[in-house]
Amino acid sequence: MDITIKELEHLYSKGTPFERTALKDVDLSIKEGTFLTIIGHTGSGKSTLIQHLNGLLKPTAGSIEIGEFHIKSGEKEKRLKELRKHVGVVFQYPEHQLFEETIEKDIIFGPLNFGVSEEEAKKRAAELIELVGLDHSFLERSPFDLSGGQMRRVAIAGVLAMKPSILILDEPTAGLDPRGRKEIMELFYRLHQEEGLTTILVTHSMEDAARYSDRIVIMEKGTVALQGTPMEVFSDANALKALSLDIPETVQFIKRLEDRFNTTLPHSVFTLEETVEAAVSLLREEES
């Protein structure tokens, strides 16, 4: 399902002394199967934007099209529930949404709400608990006995169990240790590729953005400040600086390498592995 956002505007507490513009003039189109990363400072409207994508927030002006679903200001989309079945959201600190007595029950909460049979839902729970890196014995345990990282994994399994075709991740690795961070991101990336998902990732990590995304959108003060492929975005160092955002470490490294060796490297090098490879081949060239 393609996503098209047109002139989206959102005002919080509209018509009160607390009125505040969260989003304005957001135009964005996201093709099916894209891995899109949204970057921006706190308060730039990232979280507000993604909440529009499954109808949790309604635009105060503008429109959103998601496949056959249309969300417009002032109009009611009656099939919100159906839309939410297609759009899974992993919120910030998703472990705060756990509530059931057992982990299995919590994972199947979503699927059951969307009319999946209990048998099928349990099957999914059994698969997913392993997928997120916990074992079968967890299913019967209480989610409140787990460590923070494990709770996070269970909560993520609860969203994946709905089998969404669009997966929205709002800082899914915030507060995890580096290893857990990497494992979780690798899991999302694998799912993105294997299931052909459309993934929208909100993050502060330039490294994650560089590593996984097809497209990057940079939000600033409630609107889109910069967008493009990682190559386009990260080669515009001045624009990034103007937005006071960091360039990924790999890109910085490559830049210095280029200065030192007085050469130019192909500007598509963003992941750590690619960077290492580029550096190694450069050094080899030097030697020979």
Partner 1 sequence: MMQNIIIGQYVPGKSYVHNLDPRAKLLTTFLFVIIVFLANNWITYALLGAFTISAIVVSRIPIRFIYNGLKPILLIIILTFFLHVFLTKEGPLLFDLGFIEVYQGGVEQGVFISMRLLFLIMITSLLTLTTTPIDITVGLETLLGPFKRFGLPVHEFALMMSIALRFIPTLLEETEKIMKAQAARGAQFSSGPIKERLKSIVPLLVPLFVSAFKRAEDLAMAMEARGYRGGEGRTSIRLLKWEAKDSLLFVFLLVLSIALILLRS
Check binding of 59 to partner 1 (CB under 8 A). no
Strand intervals (E) in the chain: 3-12, 20-30, 35-40, 61-66, 69-72, 87-90, 166-170, 198-203, 215-220, 223-228
Query: Is 94 a residue that touches partner 1 (CB under 8 A)?
Result: yes
Residue 54 interacting with partner 1 (CB under 8 A): yes
Say whether residue 105 binds partner 1 (CB under 8 A). no
Neighbours of 195 (CB within 10 A): 14
Give the tokens for residue 109.
């909460």
Binding status of residue 76 toward partner 1 by CB under 8 A: no
CA neighbours within 13 Å on the CB side: how many for 229? 7
User: For partner 1, which residue of 88, 149, 172, 180 counts as binding (CB under 8 A)?
Assistant: 88
Segment near partner 1 (CB under 8 A); pick from 78-86, 125-133, 254-262, 275-283: 78-86
Within 139-178, which residues bind partner 1 (CB under 8 A)?
A: 144, 158-159, 162
β-bridge mates for residue 20, sequence order: 12
Distance CA 201, CA 220 (A): 16
CA gap 170, 94 in Å, rounded: 9
Check residue 51 for interaction with partner 1 (CB under 8 A).
yes
CA dihedral sign of residues 188, 209, 197, 49: positive
Of these, 22, 23, 49, 89, which contacts partner 1 (CB under 8 A)? 89
List 20, 76, 96, 241, residue binding partner 1 (CB under 8 A): 96
Query: Does 52 interact with partner 1 (rule: CB under 8 A)?
Result: no
Q: Which stretch binds partner 1 (CB under 8 A): 87-95, 120-128, 234-242, 247-255?
A: 87-95
Q: Which is nearer to partner 1, 55 or 62 (CB)?
A: 55
CA–CA separation, 261 vs 165, rounded Å? 46
Residues that bind partner 1 (CB under 8 A): 13, 16-17, 51, 54, 56, 81, 84-85, 87-89, 91, 94, 96-99, 109-110, 113-114, 144, 158-159, 162
